[in-house]
């Protein structure tokens, strides 16, 4: 089982959107028994809440249902449980680097690295409008496809 965790600040916009897009690709290929997905935030402000209504609205428009997701905070144990931990921006990446135990053997990376856009951030749409959420989904799709291709290549080795 390969385990993937998507991380942003509050776990109500970008990381649940990334999880929904990636989970959709995993389901399309019938890999639910092989790849597990989750998302979390480095902050705890929204723990227990569903994704932002705007993220859900745009997600549904793109064919992704994320109504079952609930925000949670990144825990130290996530480094023992997840093979891939993917940050949406530099600030959260740095927070995760500080949390990462020296023995972590998984991959800690930026989400957009898997779209060939190394170091690029997925912008936070929280203070924007629906077009900002659409931009996020448009960015996440090629990154999720690249991530899945990478994981499938690694599984072949």
Q: In the chain, what are the domain boundaries? A: 2-156
What tens digit of pLDDT does each residue of 68-115 get? 999 999 999 999 999 999 999 999 999 999 999 999 999 999 999 999
CATH code for 2-156?
Answer: 3.40.50.2300
Q: Per-residue DSSP letters for the chain?
A: -EEEEEEESSSSSHHHHHHHHHHHHHHHTT-TTTEEEEEEESS-TTTTPPPPHHHHHHHHHTT---TT----B--TTHHHH-SEEEESSHHHHHHHHHH--TT--SEEEEGGGGGT-TTPPPPP-TTS-HHHHHHHHHHHHHHHHHHHHHHHHHHH-
* pTM recorded for the entire structure: 0.98
pLDDT tens across 127-151, in order? Answer: 999 999 999 999 999 999 999 999 9
* Catalytic residue set: 8, 14, 124
């Amino acid at each position: 089982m390969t385990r993937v965790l998507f991380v942003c600040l509050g776990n109500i916009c970008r990381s649940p959107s990334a999880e929904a897009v990636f989970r959709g690709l995993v389901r399309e290929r019938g890999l639910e028994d092989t790849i597990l997905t989750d998302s979390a935030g480095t902050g705890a402000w929204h723990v227990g809440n569903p994704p932002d209504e705007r993220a859900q609205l745009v997600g549904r428009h793109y064919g992704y249902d994320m109504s079952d997701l609930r925000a949670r905070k990144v825990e130290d144990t996530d480094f023992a449980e997840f093979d891939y931990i993917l940050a949406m921006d530099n600030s959260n990446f740095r927070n995760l680097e500080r949390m990462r135990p020296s023995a972590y053997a998984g991959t800690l990376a930026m989400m957009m690295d898997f779209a060939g856009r190394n170091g690029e951030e997925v912008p936070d749409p929280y203070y924007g409008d629906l077009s900002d959420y659409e931009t996020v989904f448009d960015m996440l799709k090629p990154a999720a496809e690249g991530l899945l291709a990478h994981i499938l290549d690694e599984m072949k080795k």
